[in-house]
Amino acid sequence: MASDIIKLFVMMITLLVFMKLKPLLVKGEQQVPCLFILGDSTLDNGNNNNLLTAAKANYPPYGIDFPDGPTGRFTNGRNRADFIAELLGFDKYIEPFATVKGVDMFRGVNYASGAAGILDESGIHLGDRISLNRQLRNHRVTISHMSTLLGNKTLNKEYLRKCIYIVDMGNNDYINNYLLPQFYPSSRMYTSEQFARMLIKQYTKQLKTLYHYGARKIVVFGLGGIGCVPALLDLYGTEDSACVDSINSAVQKFSDKLKPMIDDLNSNLPNANFIYINSTSIAVRDPSSIGITDLREPCCEISTTIADGQCKYDGGACTDRAAHYFWDGFHPSEAPTKVNAERAYTALLSTDAYPFDISQLAQL
């Protein structure tokens, strides 16, 4: 029976590749054959569950609004990866690398890991985490398994070039590296401009590696207002500003370099289609328009023993979750995340996505 299923799957893939079917943009129709996700806790859906780390979310009240309860998602419900999968027409969420098996990997794999960064050392004070370099190695393992199942490396490459890849990294290179001088020397070694340049250089190499593994449709998310998250507001404090402006200014130096990086990659890599999503632009401009009235207080009870800013194990949670922008000390709740994903998929402003949005990328 299993061999028959695999044969049927191979036949379906062969049809997709050689008939070169265009995605059908009917609501509910799957627009690309697979979706691969690389990132940090904003996208993690269970890869950290069995790691020796403080950065995990497989306990209540995380997942209080998710059908399967606490799964390792760092929010109350769905995360950005889930919403993007829905918008692309997938009928199931993409499985984490930690648990995906067999032919299920042909739908895609989620490699994201809480506390992970572009730099291998970012987040190390929290314990184990799967850095972007390790996620790339895990993707290479996936490709190898897929080639074995297909029995044809060329066919596998043709299949992968039709898939969409989401990459969202860099948050922890600031939150869990540059902004923690008590654990990391980076802020003493580099100015904010030098650090941003160093990150971009490393990031460019990693994205090129992803391209050489067969990716052709790659979505790169920029960083949002890290200086506005509750945990950092509590740590640094502000005077008259709603956010820690010095942090946002440092992070902006990195984000400003992403569009030129995208141009460089698209110009120098044949058939590459990298796009940039401006996380600042796609943020909810008027939170009250979607019922959000609390922009600062986390919804869940914050732990004093687990990693700073995370929910207390089996702790309390507010009842008006849709009214809170933040779920815990670092991560947004489901409500603003849904809006962010929708804006990344269908840009409303020219500044949301460059050179186009995810819905257009899916049609290529």
Q: Which residues are known catalytic residues?
A: 41, 328, 331
Q: Which residues of 251-271 are buried (b: 16+ CB within 10 A; e: fewer)?
A: bbbbbebbeebbeebbeebee
With contact defined as beta carbons under 8 Å apart, do 275 and 262 qualify?
yes
Which alpha helices (H) appear in 50-93, and where do they start and end?
80-87
DSSP state string for 126-158: GB----HHHHHHHHHHHHHHHHHHHT-HHHHHH
The closest alpha carbon to 80, from 329, 308, 282, belongs to: 282
Collapsing DSSP states into helix, strand and coil, what is residue 56? coil
The closest alpha carbon to 13, from 157, 129, 122, 117, belongs to: 157
The CA distance from 160 to 101, in Å, is 17
The CA distance from 246 to 157, in Å, is 44
The structure tokens listed for 69 are: 């309860």
Taking every pair of Cα atoms in the chain, the longest distance, rounded to a whole number of angstroms, is 66
Q: Where are the beta strands (DSSP E) in the chain?
A: 35-39, 164-168, 217-221, 273-277, 353-354
The closest alpha carbon to 33, from 43, 46, 20, belongs to: 20
The CA distance from 144 to 271, in Å, is 22
The CA distance from 303 to 20, in Å, is 51
